[in-house]
Every structure is written in structure tokens, then in C-alpha cells.
Chain A
Amino acid sequence: MDSLHDLGGKQGFSRVKFPSEPHDETWEPLIRALSAWALRNHIYNMDEFRHAIERMAPRYYISAPYFERHLTAVATLMVEKGLTTAEELEELAGGDFPLSAPIGPGRIAAPAQSFAIGETVRVKNEYVPGHFRMPGYIRGKTGTVVSISPPYPYPDAAAHNMQTTMEPTYDVRFRARDLWPDSCDDAMNHVGVFQSYLEKVEPA
């Protein structure tokens, strides 16, 4: 889904606050631990977790600190898996407990294909209602495969708890000026792209 989590290349943002100000919020390690517990016990998988964050209302996503987004995702998935209810959470917390929006449909992987290092590839011009890991700034763009990673679970299916196949990802190199002509610093941009998101480029 195209929501505000897909930040790459968005304009109008500020200077990076570097180095970071130290801060100590005791609830943050607690959330990190609870989230790890739920993941280890297969209450949900990593893609379901990421997608639950992406399903947060955009205005809330953009204003919530990092671990509050994690908190919202864990709670949303616990409710969706039937391990608690929104009412129980609100009662225990003593106030409103915002959860993410309902999940849409996922999809299964595209038919297997393969690409070689050095090959020119194009990112498919796809728009999907569910989870995917294609940042919008490479949609429809052409790049070159520079390395291949071992097979991972296909996120568009895994995030929706559908039968998940494994597929390689390709580190694809793009030129910044092909991605944002006339409005970028020159650089080589590399993105880890799942095989199903790519298509062959026919020789001219």
C-alpha cells in the first residue's frame, strides 16, 4: 500500500537531528521485548508486524515515535489474532488505545523467473492494496542487478498470513538522476528488490 511509511525521496523534511539527543523511556525496552516475544512465539511474523505499522492512520504514523508505532502494531495484531480485544486493552490502559486500520487483501508471488548480475531490469508498475516492500521511488524504473540475496519469504503473502513461497531478492542499482531527474544529488541508489517485483527489459 502507498502510505506515509514510504518516505524515500519525499520533500520538505528537515535537517537530521545528528547526533541524537540521549533519552531514556523505560517503556521502549519493554515494547522491544514484548514484540520480540510475540515474534518468537509465532503470534505473527515480521511482515505482518511491518504491515501493521503501515496500516496506522497516516496522521498518527507521522506523529508517533518509533516504539509507539511498534506498540500499536503489536496491539493491533494481538486483537486481530483473537488474543485480546480493543475493549480489554482500553480498560487495562485506562484510556483510548489506537489501533491500525483493518488489513486488505494480500497476493501470492509472480511465476518464478531469474535475473543475472549485470542484467538490466525494470521494476513493475504495480499498485497493490496490501503489504509490499517496493519503495515508490523505484516504481516503473530501470536499473542494473549488482548482487543476489538468498531466498526470503515473499512479503506480500507473508504479511497476510497466506501460503508463502521463498524467492531471491536482487540488489538493483539505479542512478539518482533517473529516479528524480533535475531534483536530486547525484548518487548510485541501491534497493533490495524481491524477484516478483521485477520484469525483464527486452533488448532494444
Chain B
Amino acid sequence: MSDQPKSSIAPPEKRAAAMEMVLRRNSALPDGFVQEFTEHADDAWVTANGARMVARAWSEPAFRERMLADGTGAAREMGFDFPEHHRHLVVLENKPDIHNVIVCTLCSCTAYTIIGAAPDWYKDLDYRARVVRESRTVLREMGLDLPASTEIRVWDTTADTRYMVLPEQPPATEGWPAEKLAEIVTQDSMIGASRLEEVKG
């Protein structure tokens, strides 16, 4: 064990390659797994999944109700899967005076199969340290200036429950078909860093 990295440390790409060699040799990592896994992760675990759920919730009141009562069931209903250690999806409903925002202070847990791989800012130490204690300030610095009357609800992903935010539908998009609505739903809005209100018809 080394206390602090020094210049004799092999660069991460060399260490990663060493790990791959060890896994091939000692635990039967098959040829092609890395490529297949990466393609699957990049193609299947995308922000568009969550965006489709949000768009459907906006368009179909019965689905919205099911999604708020049982996020896991709603995701499965739309054919999206969960890794073994994501056991439960909770959908947090934004309202005019309630804003939800998600973090994982202990690592960087997210519902990545539903909202896509966590963005770098979400994994940043700055976000993890600050958003629980200075939520309003941090959101304002990120461009979301909430009125003082808005209650902020912060959700720390410390167990195996995963969260996503159901943003409010922008008024200008009333009556749009679900496919078109899904295109305006961003990953940031499902984490709670934005509110989509600026979207124009």
C-alpha cells in the first residue's frame, strides 16, 4: 500500500490494462466482453429511458399515478432493467412550490440504467459535499434560482433505493405527443439541477 501517489505510479491506462490481463488469466474474462458490455451500457442505459417515462407520465395520468406509487414497476412496464443492486426506484414529483434534487454523498450512486451514466459534475467532490448543506446556493450557482417560497427536498442515495425526479411539464408544451415531449427532458432535470420551465412551445 502506498500512502500517496508518487511519480513511480503506473499511469491509470497501464494499470487498467494490467487488470484486464489478470482477469483474462485468472477469472476467465472472455474475449469480447469489454466491447459488448460497453456497447450495451452506451446503447441501453441512456437518458432517453427516463425521458420516455417522464413524457408518458405527463401524457397519461394513470401511468403517472403508477410511476409515483411504484417507480420500479413503471420502469419494468416500459422494458427498462435494473442491475441486481438497484432494487427499488422512487420517483420524486416536483410541484410549483416543491423542488427535489438527488445526490450520493458517500459515492456516486444513480439510477444509471434509467437516467443514463452520472455526469461528471454529479460525481464531483464539490457537488457531493455541498448540495446537502447549501442546496439553494449550489442550485443557484448551477443556474437554477429558486424562489424563497420553494421547498427544496434533497435525497441522499445512501442505500440501494434509486431516485429520479419527475419534473413539471413546461406549460408551453401542453398537448404535445409523448415522443416530442421526451425530447425536451434532460438528464439534469431528472437529477434536479434544472426545471425545464424555460422550454418554449
Contact = CB atoms under 8 A, between A and B. Distances in A.
Interface of A: 5-11, 13-21, 23, 25-27, 29-34, 36-38, 41, 43, 45-46, 50, 53, 57, 59-60, 62-68, 71, 74-75, 78, 83-84, 88-90, 92-102, 133-135, 137, 147, 149-150, 152, 169, 171, 176, 179-180, 183-194
Contact of A17 (B5, B126, B132, B161): B126
B18 to A, nearest CB: 4
A180 B154 CA distance: 14
Contact of B133 (A6, A74, A147, A180): A180
B38 A41 contact: no
A60 B4 contact: yes
Interface residues of B, number: 75
22 contacts: A6-B105, A8-B103, A8-B129, A11-B129, A18-B141, A18-B143, A20-B120, A20-B121, A37-B27, A43-B27, A60-B3, A63-B5, A71-B16, A74-B19, A78-B23, A84-B26, A88-B22, A92-B18, A96-B10, A169-B159, A186-B152, A189-B156
B158 A71 contact: no
- List the 6 shortest-distance A-B pairs measured between CB atoms, nearest first: A95-B10, A8-B105, A192-B159, A92-B18, A20-B120, A93-B10
Contacts of B90: 147, 149, 171
B69 to A, nearest CB: 11
Interface of B: 1-6, 8-23, 26-27, 29, 33-34, 37-38, 41, 84-85, 87-88, 90, 103, 105-108, 119-121, 123-138, 141-143, 151-161, 188, 193
